[in-house]
Amino acid sequence: MGPGMKNTFDGIEPLVHKSQISVPYHWWAGETASRFFVELRDTKKIMGTRCDGCGKTFVPPRKTCPVCFTENTKWVECGPAGTVTSFTVVRKQQEALHHKVPVIFALVLLDGADTALLHRLDEVSPEDVKIGMKVEASFNETKDANMTAIAYFKPAS
Amino acid sequence: MERAAIIGTGMTKIESAKRTETFADMAWEAVNKALDDAGMTIDDVDNVVTTSNDFWDGRTISCMAVGDASGASHKNVSCVEGDGTFGAFYGLSRALSGSYGTTLVTAHSKGSESISSLITNASFDPIYDRWLGMDMVSASAMQANAYMERTGTTSEQLAMVSVKNHGNAVKNPLSQLPMSISVEDVLGSEMISDPLHKLDCSPVSDACCAIIIANESRVPAYSGCPVWIKGAAFCSDAFFLGDRDLSRAKALTEAAAKAFSMAGITNPSKEIQVAEIYDAFTYQELMWLEEMGLCESGTAGSMLEKGEFDIDGRLPVNPSGGLLGGHPVIAAGLIRIVEIVKQLRKEAGEYQVDAKRGLAHGVNGLCGQSHCVWVLDSEG
């Protein structure tokens, strides 16, 4: 602030320019995610892609292996059961949340996969969630081909 | 590598809301302080690197908002999107390239002007993950649980990081949150996302920071007291959280090893004498210390309890108060560099420690996807 402008804010509220950024945007899901979502919606199968080089199976599926820098060509079914590798219980109602707190987010390593899927847990008390617990997918009946075809994960029966 | 030094630094005070200053106003203050510190005029600056993020700034090409106030007009100016340490790395590369002898690096953001939960939610993959409604805090909380499960680190130990860093901030006139608090205060503060309480989380902040890097041939031309860059390296891990072992920070281990090797350091826990590291959340200070090799894996919590990371301890960590004392996203890592420069120049005032060699650390991305590590020395 220059010396001549020193007293600009004496006795007045600083001006605020209020605005909002709202720009509609759509992302093409691409061939790998499209096949994954359609399979999920139509057959309730959770599919991963496997790398021929390192043998890793990626869920959610990726077209390329980030480790080997090669294209993943094989599709394999994983889950629907898996293991919680980490989790958190959100207690404060943050703006990004779509559910009322407490909300439980978890990384679920599906049986047959080598990378964990980020999702939500339900039908379980927050106090009972532990790293290492067995969970399984609970599916939604939906017309949408997207991740919401899995409603959440719940303790394995 | 060829030699380069930081010859000037400047920063604004870190505040919860700079209600009377624009981005350019903040840059003007930080840049002029850095020029004064270096004994330079803007004509002595060969090129400019600004560091900012379009989402945080609410505009595209956010670097253009600060270019004029950074003296970039009629100069080669480039923008880095990410933490300030990454902008500084690019600035260093330019100063060593032979094309430019001096680089001015700035980094700014104002967390107060937006809603951080929504901004950080947008860093999740839009096709697979973003719809869940996670943000930086919930993702970090998940990492904290994974780290605590693997190492046995306790909530009390996390709380002690908050007590230490807010206490250090009391001595730093530029920090935002100086507080004398107890472990009970931290554990009794609102639970935001298990296991992180409100006082385990850094605040929303506004600030701008600037540094001037010169290659060796240009250092003697200016009166600024040089602090020498002995090592600088960065490394990135996989983007998807589920691809990583969240309880570890492989990218940090690799970045630190490379920076130490450049600096000729073989025993970092003995040879680094002060560290300013990216404590956006309490657990991160402990986890990053272990993963960068400044202590054995799983031991940072107990070393903290013994006072080893206190301002008068064996290895002072975040004597400035760290990010817990003020966390302007983007600028935060560059401020770590500035704080180490202050320490090595014996200009840290009431939080001065006895050190000739220090480490500064910056992070970009969710749960420390990328890390940038700097080793600085008071002697060339």
Q: Is A83 on the interface with B (CB under 8 A)?
A: no
Q: Is B25 part of the contact surface with chain A (CB cutoff 8 Å)?
A: yes
A7 touches chain B (CB under 8 A): no
Q: Are B62 and B87 in contact (CB under 8 A)?
A: no
CB-CB: which of A59, A92, A96 is closest to B134? Answer: A96
Residue with structure tokens 């945007």? A25
pTM of the full predicted structure?
A: 0.97
Beta bridge partners of A119: A106
Measured between beta carbons, the chain B residues lying within 8 angstroms of A2 are none
What's the pLDDT at B76?
94
Closest CA to B63 of B46, B73, B75, B78: B78
3 state SS of B359? strand
- Across the interface, of A19, A92, A95, the residue whose CB is closest to B192 is A92
B289-317: buried (b, 16+ CB within 10 Å) or exposed (e) per residue?
bbbbbbbeeeebbebbeeebbbbebebbb
What domains, with CATH codes, occur in chain B? 4-115+204-221 (3.40.47.10)
> If you measure CA to CA, which chain B residue comes closest to A36?
B128
pLDDT of residue A1: 46
The ranges of chain A with pLDDT < 50 are: 1
Specify if A48 maps to a domain.
Answer: yes
A1 within a domain of the structure (yes/no): no
Q: Which residues in chain B touch residue A15, judged by CB atoms under 8 angstroms apart?
A: none
What's the Cα-to-Cα distance from B332 to each of B52, B82, B229, B279, rounded to whole Å?
Answer: 11, 10, 19, 10
Is A130 a member of any domain? yes
Shortest distance between the Cα of B340 and any Cα of chain A, in A, equals: 27
Q: Does A20 fall in a domain?
A: no
Is-contact B272 B361, C-beta < 8 A?
Answer: no
Q: Which residues of chain A are within 8 Å of residue B117 when distances are taken between CB atoms?
A: 94-97
B61–chain A Cβ distance below 8 A for any pair: no
Q: Do B341 and B6 meet the contact criterion of CB atoms below 8 Å apart?
A: yes
Look at residue B43 in the predicted model and tell me its pLDDT.
97
| Contact residues, chain A, for B138 at CB < 8 Å | 88, 90, 94, 105
> For an interface test with A, which of B194, B247, B287 has the most A Cβ atoms less than 10 Å from its Cβ?
B194
Mutate which of B128, B243, B247 to test chain A, going by most A C-beta atoms within 10 A?
A: B128
Q: Cα-flanking dihedrals φ and ψ of residue A29, to 5°? A: -70, -25
Is A140 part of a structural domain of the chain?
Answer: yes
Cα B309 to Cα B54, B273, B326, B347: the distances in Å are 36, 10, 19, 20
Helix (H, G, I), strand (E, B) or coil at B212: strand
Contact B219, B103 (CB under 8 A): no
Strands (E), chain B: 4-11, 47-51, 76-80, 102-110, 191-193, 196-197, 206-215, 227-236, 274-276, 357-364, 370-377
Chain A positions touching B238 (Cβ under 8 A) are 66
For residue B201, which of B182, B179, B186, B188 has the smallest C-alpha distance? B186
Residue A5: what pLDDT? 62
Structure tokens at A93: 């109602």
Q: Which residue of A has its CA nearest to B247?
A: A86
CB pairs under 8 A between A and B: 118
Q: Please give, rounded to a whole number of angstroms, the shortest distance from the CA of B141 to a CA of chain A.
A: 6
Residue identified by tokens 């602030």 is A1
Taking the C-alpha atoms of residue B307 and residue B316, their distance in angstroms, rounded to an integer, is: 9
Beta strands in chain A (DSSP E): 46-50, 57-58, 64-65, 70-71, 74-78, 81-90, 103-110, 117-121, 134-139, 150-155
A136 is in which domain, residue-wise?
A: 29-155
- Each of the 380 residues of chain B gets a pLDDT tens digit; together they read 679 999 999 999 999 999 999 999 999 999 999 999 999 999 999 999 999 999 999 999 999 889 999 999 999 999 999 999 999 999 999 999 989 999 999 999 999 999 999 999 999 999 999 999 999 999 999 999 999 999 999 999 999 999 999 999 999 999 999 999 999 999 999 999 999 999 999 999 999 999 999 999 999 999 999 999 999 999 999 999 999 999 999 999 999 999 999 999 999 999 999 999 999 999 999 999 999 999 999 999 999 999 999 999 999 999 999 999 999 999 999 999 999 999 999 999 999 999 999 999 999 999 999 999 999 999 98
Q: Are A94 and B135 within 8 A, CB to CB?
A: yes
Nearest to A95 among B118, B195, B241 (CB): B118
> Given this model, what pLDDT does residue A8 score?
81
Tally of structural domains, chain A? 1
Q: Between B29, B127, B132, which is nearest A120 by CB?
A: B132
**What's the rounded Cα separation, in Å, for the pair B334 and B331?**
5
pLDDT for B258: 98
